[in-house]
Structure 1
Amino acid sequence: MRRVIKLFLVLLTLLLALWLIWGFLPLGNDSRIFLSLFCLVLAVAWGWRYRREARTEQQPIDEKSLPPEQFAGAVVLVCGASDRLFPAGQAFRETRQGWYIAVSQPEELERLADSFAAARPALIARLSILLAVIPEQWQDADAFNQQLLRWQRAIANSRQAFSGLPPIWCSVWLNAIQDPTENGCCWYSLTHNHESLQVQDNAAVAQAYISWCQQRGAETELPRLSSSLWLQALFSWLNSRVLEVLAIRNHDTPALRPCMLAICTTPVSAVADNLWQQHIAAVTTLPVRPDSQNVPTLPLPDALLAHLPHRHGVSVAMQSWRLAGLLIGIFLLLAMLASWINNQRLIQNVSDHLAIYQRLTGTPAGPKVQAQKQLQRDAGLLDGWQRDGVPIRYSLGLYQGMRLIAPLRASINDWAPPQPVPVINKIVQGPTTLRLDSLSLFDSGKSALKSGSEKVLINALVGIKAKPGWLIVVSGHTDNTGNALLNQTLSIQRAAAVRDWMLSTSDVSESCFAVQGHGASRPIATNDTAAGRALNRRVEISLVPQADACQAAETLPASGVDAGITPSKEN
């Protein structure tokens, strides 16, 4: 179930990120594609790492030993001498007041803390750590001290899983100094909410130690005195052997200060020459209860659970809903910020278009017409949003497009482009350039007009008339077949032949003509094909404006490859 929740949260995060990128952020398509791929890579990397950790992590604790998530009592992790409080093979004990979980070794505490925090986060506020101490089962003081330091380090390492140290309390189980036949259970406790020592005898109501002594009667003066001395010696041993050791900071291990001390006098299995006997023998002459064997399971401190501090916890489902709500809240915050930026950019763009339009005078009209068309596009966009609804990328950030419609319409309507003046097209009589096929006028390689060419020239030259200030230029062209110099000469001769025919059939002055030969230097098509070479073999007649045309004949440069113009008459 926890894996499903984590997967759901990751997918929710990915979905919100993609929605933010493509629906709100003012980015280009390239940036959006890059960020989308980056988010997908992060999601895949998380999934790979999560799967790898799931394969390599230690076997989680059996959740049957954990209390149900709706458990209303106290949860106690019993460290230290926990094997004496639980029957053999039993990992937990449930009572009316609490749920006790056995932690047999310090190394197991951190793993149990991680599993408990992941499976029952709502019960962390009800959890406490009990350090169980049975001094009559220890003979070596150094070994006991080392074991205590190991538990201190393990408890300190569990604070990361519990987001801090939970309440820590210490309890001592010890044989009483009374008659061995008396098997009653008596609890002595020092708690944070009571200044004096409290006593709870045989599950009775807890009361102050002084009141409890007074109620036992005058005939028990000596036992009360012995009990007081016994308790004083016990607290002295507990302070020197346990509390002072836990209060010392060791490297990265913080000092531990229990919030409650408890002493239970009950039959306990004891070893010979144990730590408690050594202490009693050294400081008092009080009798020590003989060693006992085959003692049943020790009583649990249910009566003291009410003195532990409690807080309200948060369940896994509630934590997931809170995290989902946090993700949605962050998404909405970023979406509103991006929407506000989009609105500011919209206002800035429309304002820039209005400023450009108003700066233009309309002379010439073209730039202002373009600016007016841009304003019309802006107005159409805003009108469409007003009619169909504003896009969500603008609506979350104080959309202000409504107030832009009025100035846009006013600016569009305050100017109209001038009406174009109708243009009357002038009809030009005849072409300014006439192109004639050389094969229709000359035989191959010849420059004399062949029979029947006059008809072609007459039909083609209809409308070609010389005007004052216009020069009739006759140009000859060939393909690239053959010698270039011969082609140059042939092109000039063919142009001169056409010019001579025009002089003989009209009254146009000889000074109105100019003859040019270009050979194969100005092709209009490729010479690689027969059709292209046929197009290149041509004679062109052009009317060129010239101020002194059709005046007195002038001597033109000699014909040749460089000049390309012949005299006005060819011999």
Structure 2
Amino acid sequence: MRDYYRSLLTVLAVALSLLLILGFWPLATKSQLALSLAVMLIGGLLLWRQRRRLQAYSYAVREIKDDNLPPEEFQGAVILVCGDSSALFSEGKLHRETRQGWYLLVKEAEQLPSLAQHLFQSRPALAAQLSVLLAILPETHLFEDSFIQSLRGWQRALAQTRTLLGRTLPLWTATWVSPPAVCADEEPVWFTQPNQQSEMQVYQPGQGNLALSEWVKESGIASRLNRLSLALWLTSLLDWQQKAVNSLLTERSRKAMVPCAQGICITPTNGEPDNLWHQHIIAITALAPKGHEKAGPLPLPEPLTASLPRRRGISRSMVFWRRVGIQGGIFLALAMLASFINNQRLIRNIGDHLTLYHHLSGEPVQPKIRAQQRLRADSALLDGWQQRGEPLRYRLGLYQGLRLIPPLEAAINGWAPPAPPPPVIKKIVQGPQTIRLDSMSLFDSGKYQLKAGSTKLLVNSLVGIKAKPGWLIVVAGHTDNTGSAKLNQLLSLQRAEAVRDWMRETGDVPASCFAVQGYGASRPIANNDTAEGRTLNRRVEISLVPQANACALPGDLPASSQDDGADNNLME
């Protein structure tokens, strides 16, 4: 799967994570913000790493063209040809296609991990058909040390490929050597060994495989001698390959790579003078084998492809959608879990409100009223969700709010608070001509304007207070000791004046009939340390006080002046 598919999956994972955090999981606002920032930061880092990897990867596979890669619907084996691979391909060609397989040339060991990764990402359906062929041409090497170093380089490349892909690609080997001089004109012969324990087989075109021992005995005497020579040649080659190649690949001190199959082709091969194969033959026979010339690429190891994997993988689009499905399934599972938790919390919260409401007896009334108001708020919330749809975090088929509405309505309608008592008029008569009014029944807290509804209270309370000549109406205001003394004195005076003004406007009483006094908190009638005492101290007192010349009508002579005139007449 290519990196842009990975980027799409990363973006999708970030979007689903944010939707879970912000839309489903019951988290505090700060927690949601912190988790959202963390998810976006991690997603940004992943996208940055994927972009850097894509740039490095594009540079590594810049020479690989899709024309050389097999189509994704290819059914045969896909083989990365390593080692002495150039002799198997025509000049300028990077691949060879047959009915059995698609052979890709790997020139350098450093290219193997990049090419394998590119195939895994661009052709994931062919991943199960991929294998590595180590091509060995001993006649192209002059020195054993350089040959061993070349093998170790390919071994390191195979280990890097295994680490990069997270899996081991099947490894098989094929060796090409020139035949002995007596068999120079024979057709190329393939000796195959599908696994390390099986007997060596000889591939015969159109006839299949035959055991080596049976193959030597078959046909006439001349042909049998040639086959015997080839068998001896094969034995020598197997000894050399075991010492020079297999022992290195299966070395336990390094990461062991046991070939799953090996093949040997006896065919004319272009080689160097005094090469490793000739050195080996000379060491055994003291005779130098004759060199051969070969035109065109060497034959491909088609007889071994039958033992290679034939499993079919899935395409990159299917991989993408499968991973999208996995992410969607995880998101759906977590979202349903969050929805279940949210619904359980809703049931528990409303259940706690109902339990508290039923536990309260109504005495005192205020706690029961507050509990009922909380139930009304819960009912209004659920009614709104029923009309507009519940929030996303409660959905996914788990919403439980509808079954909570009937018990809420039954609880709300099952109790009503008692009617509020009428305003208390505290009327305490000090002597027959004094009336005391509760300030809180006339004024709002801290105010001196008469509040609405106080007129009826004043009319009913002051029905016995009438202006009479010789009687002074004294209106005195009092407060409790809350606040500063100066402000309390001013407030008490203003309240007394407000009552006096109302009496003047209502009864058309002359101003000479009134006297207004503000005592503040200086004359308490109860203890200010208790709420009841402070309530009693907040009052307005109205008294009729006898006083000469008080409330005189216009035109009346003061009584003192008449008395003085009479005394003067008597004196005359």
With structure 2 as the length reference, what TM-score do the two structures score?
0.71
- Which residue pairs with 2:155 in the alignment? 152
- Which residue pairs with 1:261 in the alignment? 262
Rounded to whole Å, the distance in 2 between the matches of 1:4 and 1:199 is 48
CA contact (8 A) 2:436 2:540 kept: no
Call closer, same or farther: CA 1:462–1:210 in 2, change over 3 Å: farther
CA contact (8 A) 1:193 1:307 kept: no
Q: RMSD between aligned alpha carbons?
A: 3.9
CA contact (8 A) 2:473 2:514 kept: no
Q: For 2:162, what is the secondary structure of its paired residue? A: coil
Deviation, structure 1 residue 157: 0.8
Match of 2:119 among 116, 129, 133: 116
Deviation, structure 1 residue 284: 4.7
Rounded to whole Å, the distance in 2 between the matches of 1:507 and 1:175 is 143
Encode CA deviations 1:439-484: one digit per residue, 9 max, x unaligned: xxxxxxxxxxxxxxxxxxxx9x9996259xx7999xxxxxxxxxxx
Rounded to whole Å, the distance in 2 between the matches of 1:151 and 1:200 is 28
> Is it true that 1:188 corresponds to 2:191 in the alignment?
yes
Encode CA deviations 1:28-83: one digit per residue, 9 max, x unaligned: 33433343344334444444444444445524222222111111111111111111
Rounded to whole Å, the distance in 2 between the matches of 1:276 and 1:192 is 24
Call closer, same or farther: CA 1:397–1:212 in 2, change over 3 Å: same
What is the correspondence of 1:314-353 to structure 2 with a 5 Å cutoff? Answer: 314-353=314-353
CA contact (8 A) 2:128 2:310 kept: yes
Residue 333 of structure 2 aligns with an amino acid whose one-letter code is L
% same residue: 41
- Which residue pairs with 2:275 in the alignment? 274
- Which residue pairs with 1:33 in the alignment? 33
CA contact (8 A) 1:74 1:99 kept: yes
Call closer, same or farther: CA 1:108–1:95 in 2, change over 3 Å: same
CA contact (8 A) 2:81 2:103 kept: yes
What is the correspondence of 1:242-391 to structure 2 with a 5 Å cutoff? Answer: 242-250=245-253, 253-284=254-285, 289-386=289-386, 389-391=389-391
Residue 370 of structure 1 aligns with an amino acid whose one-letter code is R
Residue 225 of structure 1 aligns with an amino acid whose one-letter code is L
Deviation, structure 1 residue 203: 5.9
Deviation, structure 1 residue 13: 2.1
Encode CA deviations 1:383-408: one digit per residue, 9 max, x unaligned: 44455544432233733334433433
Encode CA deviations 1:168-214: one digit per residue, 9 max, x unaligned: 00110011225354141111000039822211135642222233233
Call closer, same or farther: CA 1:425–1:543 in 2, change over 3 Å: closer
Residue 223 of structure 1 aligns with an amino acid whose one-letter code is N
What is the correspondence of 1:135-534 to structure 2 with a 5 Å cutoff? Answer: 135-177=138-180, 179=182, 181-192=184-195, 195-202=198-205, 204-250=207-253, 253-284=254-285, 289-386=289-386, 389-396=389-396, 398-423=398-423, 465-466=473-474
CA contact (8 A) 1:130 1:168 kept: yes
Encode CA deviations 1:203-248: one digit per residue, 9 max, x unaligned: 6422222332333234544334333332222211111111011111
Rounded to whole Å, the distance in 1 between the matches of 2:477 and 2:230 is 144
Deviation, structure 1 residue 93: 1.1
Unaligned runs of 5+ in 1: 434-458, 474-504, 517-541, 552-571
Bigger CA drift: 160-169 or 257-266?
Answer: 160-169
Call closer, same or farther: CA 1:232–1:211 in 2, change over 3 Å: same
CA contact (8 A) 1:472 1:513 kept: no
CA contact (8 A) 1:140 1:275 kept: yes
Rounded to whole Å, the distance in 2 between the matches of 1:472 and 1:308 is 109
Question: What count of residue pairs does the alignment treat as equivalent?
Answer: 461
Rounded to whole Å, the distance in 2 between the matches of 1:515 and 1:347 is 58
Rounded to whole Å, the distance in 1 between the matches of 2:125 and 2:402 is 51
Rounded to whole Å, the distance in 2 between the matches of 1:515 and 1:71 is 108
Q: For 2:279, what is the secondary structure of its paired residue? A: helix
Call closer, same or farther: CA 1:237–1:181 in 2, change over 3 Å: closer
Deviation, structure 1 residue 148: 1.0
Call closer, same or farther: CA 1:289–1:184 in 2, change over 3 Å: farther
Rounded to whole Å, the distance in 2 between the matches of 1:99 and 1:464 is 126
Rounded to whole Å, the distance in 2 between the matches of 1:416 and 1:543 is 33
Rounded to whole Å, the distance in 2 between the matches of 1:120 and 1:175 is 37
Bigger CA drift: 62-71 or 385-394?
Answer: 385-394
Bigger CA drift: 76-85 or 266-275?
Answer: 266-275
Rounded to whole Å, the distance in 2 between the matches of 1:46 and 1:126 is 30
With structure 1 as the length reference, what TM-score do the two structures score?
0.71
Call closer, same or farther: CA 1:462–1:174 in 2, change over 3 Å: farther
CA contact (8 A) 2:125 2:315 kept: yes
Q: For 1:182, what is the secondary structure of its paired residue? A: coil
Deviation, structure 1 residue 141: 1.4
Q: For 1:116, what is the secondary structure of its paired residue? A: helix
CA contact (8 A) 1:430 1:464 kept: no
